Chain A
Amino acid sequence: MSMTEQQGIAAIQAVAQNHGQAAEELPNLIALLEHLFPKSRLVHFLFTWENLAFSAAVLALIIFTALRAARKKSFIPKGLQNVWELVVEVLEGFVTGILGPRGAEHVPYLGTLFVYILLANWLGMIPLMKSPTSAWSTTIALALMTTVYIQWVGIKEHGFFNYVKHLAGNPIGILGLALVPLMLIINLSIEFLAVPLSLSLRLFANISSEDKLLYKFAELNVLYKGLPFFFQLFANVLVIIFSFVQAFVFLLLSTVYISLILPHDHEESHDAARENSLGPIHEPSTKEH
């Protein structure tokens, strides 16, 4: 191993270890700045709130482009308006395909969630950037937000009494009433623990693994010239695809959870909408819970 290679690896490891982790993630801009200016308060503040800084960048990008696109309102869309209308139309078709025509009211939440997660996942592909979704704090926040949204939809659709009844397992008879405490514990655990944990851990684990994969290939590129570069190209393609898949899975599961909390009279319209939708949509399974 030459001197330059050793220096490269050492630099990467030093920046990563400054970050308080083992050397398993490519250094980002803020980590580099912290390495270069260890006494700067601003840099240290950014370094402490690193994930939030990158999240804010993604959110700012989404707000800026979406508001610009929405302001144009031209009949024949161009540029940003065209891109955003495409996103909105595809998401609307997907969500209403599962939830039925009334699912359109959930498109803003689910759409914002999907676009944010997708861009946050892809951000890690850009050199000196980092995926905010590779931190559990980010994904648990999104999962908790989704859980709150789902329960709020449940209360709004059923009414508070029926919502509690639903959580208690819709008890009928003495046996049903006797099982209420057990059903409450089970349903509350599922709704407020299992759902956010499964949603957040899946996304966090996948995206942080992607970051580790990219780091390992970058390390191999420093150690060995040639072949690892092609492996890294392949890994980049995989990361692009898996990032999209993870964002899509989060969207799909959130939509399915909403469909499960909706009243049953939605099922008829849901079936009709599914017949009209372009692609086959999987039946929301209760096994998800």
Chain B
Amino acid sequence: MEFFQENIHLSEVFVQLLAFLIVFLTLKKFAWKPLLAIIKSRRERFESEWSGIEKTKQDVAALQKDYLAHLQKIDEEARAKMQEAIREGRRLGREIQEKARLESQASFEKAKTSLELEIQKARLAMRLEIAGISIQVAEKILNEKMNDAEQEKKALEILGELEKKL
């Protein structure tokens, strides 16, 4: 009993109780509640932001999927158009080639025809010329009495002139 009396002072116990009670009630009202409320609101904000982030992630994933599908579609369309263009190009190339070949053949034929005409013209002109010259030669032979050697010489001169003219 002495031990209790030495170590426990009732007045001190009472004041300690009262002091602790006052501090507890003060802290409960002015410290613990605000601090718990701050922590709770922060936790709720984090949770809402996390859920927002998750939703955004899902939206982004969906958008990415859409874009990938869209890109694939564009790619396929581009590939189809490119192949179409290649086919069209080849077709046009063949057409141009064919047209050019036909044109070149036509111009060749035309040139050939005109060349033949020119040759015929030239032949005709040459014939006429030869005939004229022959007449002139004959006239000269007839007009000039020449010996055989002179005739031969004359004939060669005329032929030489003819060759020059041709």
Contacts and interface: CB of A to CB of B under 8 A. Distances in A.
Interface of A: 49, 51-52, 55-56, 59, 62-63, 66-67, 69-71, 73, 75, 77, 84-85, 88-89, 92, 104, 107-109, 111-113, 116, 135-138, 140-142, 144-145, 204
| Chain B: interface size category | 20 to 34
B149 interface: no
Given A59-B20, A112-B24, A66 B13 contact: no
A137 B27 contact: no
A29 to B, nearest CB: 19
Given A92-B36, A136-B7, 16 more contacts: A52-B15, A56-B19, A63-B26, A66-B35, A70-B30, A85-B35, A88-B32, A109-B28, A112-B27, A116-B20, A138-B16, A141-B16, A141-B17, A142-B20, A144-B13, A145-B20
Contact of A145 (B12, B17, B35): B17
Pick from A69, A136, A137 the residue with the most CB of B within 10 Å: A137
A137 B15 CA distance: 10
A88 B27 CA distance: 12
B39 A85 contact: yes
A107 B32 contact: yes
B7 A135 contact: yes
A136 B9 CA distance: 9
Interface string B1-39: 000000111001111110111011011101111111011
Helix, strand, loop or mixed for chain A's interface?
helix
B13 A116 contact: no
Contact of A109 (B7, B24, B42, B45): B24
18 contacts: A52-B15, A56-B19, A66-B30, A75-B42, A75-B45, A77-B38, A88-B36, A88-B39, A107-B36, A109-B24, A112-B20, A112-B23, A112-B27, A135-B12, A136-B7, A137-B9, A140-B13, A141-B17
Given A137-B13, A145-B21, A108 B42 contact: no
B28 A108 contact: yes
B19 A70 contact: no
Given A62-B27, A136-B8, A137-B7, A104 B36 contact: yes
Interface of B: 7-9, 12-17, 19-21, 23-24, 26-28, 30-36, 38-39, 42, 45
Given A62-B23, A63-B23, A75-B42, A70 B12 contact: no
A6 to B, nearest CB: 30
A42 B30 CA distance: 32
Contacts of A63: 23, 26-27, 31
Interface-central residue, B9, B32, B34, by most chain A CB under 10 Å: B32
Contacts of B21: 145
Contacts of A140: 8, 13
A135 B42 CA distance: 41
A131 to B, nearest CB: 13
A51 B12 contact: yes
Contact of B13 (A84, A108, A112, A141): A141
Contacts of B39: 85, 88-89, 92
Contacts of A77: 38
A271 to B, nearest CB: 22
Contacts of A109: 24, 28
B46 to A, nearest CB: 10
Contacts of B20: 59, 112, 116, 141-142, 145
B41 to A, nearest CB: 9
A137 B19 contact: no
Contact of A108 (B9, B15, B33): B33
A63 B17 CA distance: 16
